[in-house]
Amino acid sequence: MYEVFQQYIDSKIMLTPDEAHYIRSLAVIKKLRKKQYLLQDGDVWKYDAFITRGCVRTYSVDEKGNEHVISFSIENWWTGDRESLLSGEPSRFNIDAIEDTELVLFTHPNFELICRQIPAFNNMVNAILQKSFVTAQNRIQAALSYTAEEKYINFVKKYPGFAMRIPQSMIASYLGMTPETLSRIRTQTARK
Amino acid sequence: MYEVFQQYIDSKIMLTPDEAHYIRSLAVIKKLRKKQYLLQDGDVWKYDAFITRGCVRTYSVDEKGNEHVISFSIENWWTGDRESLLSGEPSRFNIDAIEDTELVLFTHPNFELICRQIPAFNNMVNAILQKSFVTAQNRIQAALSYTAEEKYINFVKKYPGFAMRIPQSMIASYLGMTPETLSRIRTQTARK
DNA sequence: TAATTTACTTGATCTATATCAATTCCTTTC
DNA sequence: GAAAGGAATTGATATAGATCAAGTAAATTA
């Protein structure tokens, strides 16, 4: 499944065969069964991870035991806990597989090596980060501005594929509402 | 007030006198009176902006006319609308001054020039972006997980200075609650 | 394919927070 | 430093969404 990652890179930047080979030599393939953890809170996250197949969620668990979904990531996206990566502190998040999933992993030191040696790769990474930041900011705005119904409609419009493959209760959590509320919203919305 | 920016850079990276001079030659100083706009929604944002003095807020306005504060930025922070900057589309946000404010502005093409010519500067910018992303993600988590009271306590702990200089109604908006609710929370919390 | 578990739906009730309204307290301005 | 305008407080009431509970459907597992 490395080919998926290769194609992703090729769609973004031009590499010499040597460079492409160098990147591949540092990549580690990882497979996750559905429900398997990629990261558990308390552990330190040390990778840069790209999903080639499947779907993963990042979430926190509060004192009452409620799970709060911070993000979903699917094939052709990156995942991980940047906070733990940067700080070296134990993560407050969990990441687990919603479907059987395959990833391409780089240890962070290796990833930084690649960034330093291949400027185009570094630029690509930075562009992704900018996009991630914009996405996060838009999510904040949606959380502040929208009603529960608007949040759901906005979500489906923005990520049409997600609504199909991700359990409703997780989408509800991502949107900051209970599964019951989302269920009611869906029947109401469908009726219209 | 350029010195504040100079010191900021010096605290992060080492520059040759030539490089420092080059950066300075591309900088534009801008002053804002309290309540003055730096960006109005509908306009395209084209700068990279660093605050040397004062305080600014980024917010959106919904159809009902309610303002939703996306972020506060004070001296030694950056501000702007990255979404509009990257896409070239009109901004959906407003940025205005909460206090009299001074900024160091770079047009984005100039800023990119600096990044390309001074790798250390580029790295600094990327590090800032990573931090911004982590901050945004933490804010999402707080918005999903906390009660109104917890949100406020968390905010004061995280940004002790802000609670002093920013009007309560704006903090309430930032936290996703009404000014009345925040007022009540404050009197309750004080009583404890 | 039956059994078991897990996810979703629907209904009744509750509650945190919003809304509306009046009053007081600060700023700003002239 | 008086007047005016905006911000914060406080009270009464309303409501979106949460919680609790039961039933139904769908997915796993045996």
Strand-pair partners of B47: B107
- Mean pLDDT across B6-30: 97
- Mean pLDDT across A19-48: 96
Residue whose pair of structure tokens reads 């069964």 in the numeric block? A33
Q: Do B144 and A70 touch (CB under 8 A)?
A: yes
List, in sequence order, every beta strand (DSSP E) within B55-150: 55-61, 67-74, 78-79, 94-97, 101-107
Bridge-based pairing state of the strands A37-39 and A67-74: unpaired
Q: Give the DSSP H/E element, type plus range, for residue B133.
A: helix B119-145
Q: Using CA atoms, how far apart are residues B70 and B79, in angstroms rounded to an integer? A: 11
Q: Label residue A192 by pLDDT band (50, 70, 90).
A: low
Task: Supply the pLDDT for residue B191.
Answer: 64
Residue B158 in this model has a pLDDT that exceeds 70: yes
pLDDT tens per residue across span A119-155: 999 999 999 999 999 999 999 999 999 999 999 999 9
- What distance in Å separates residue A137's CA from the closest CA in chain B? 6
B86 contacts in chain A (CB < 8 Å): 130-131, 134
Q: Label residue A191 by pLDDT band (50, 70, 90).
A: low
The fold adopted by the segment(s) A2-131 is Jelly Rolls (2.60.120)
pLDDT tens per residue across span B41-80: 999 999 999 999 999 999 999 888 899 999 999 999 999 9
Q: Using CA atoms, how far apart are residues A137 and A170, in angstroms rounded to an integer? A: 21
Residue whose pair of structure tokens reads 């010195």 in the numeric block? B3
The two structure tokens encoding residue A81: 């806990």
Average pLDDT, chain B: 95
Residues lining strand D, beta carbon within 7 angstroms: A 34, 147-149, 176-178, 180-181; B 167-169, 179-180, 182-184, 186-187
Q: Do B66 and A131 touch (CB under 8 A)?
A: no
Indicate yes or no: strand C within 7 A of the C-beta of A183: yes
Task: Strand D: list positions under 7 Å from protein Cβ.
Answer: 7-12, 16-21, 28
CATH code for B2-136? Answer: 2.60.120.10
Residue B192 in this model has a pLDDT that exceeds 60: no
Task: Supply the pLDDT for residue A189.
Answer: 84
Q: Using CA atoms, how far apart are residues B120 and B13, in angstroms rounded to an integer? A: 7
Domain regions of chain B by residue span? 2-136, 146-192
A128 touches chain B (CB under 8 A): no
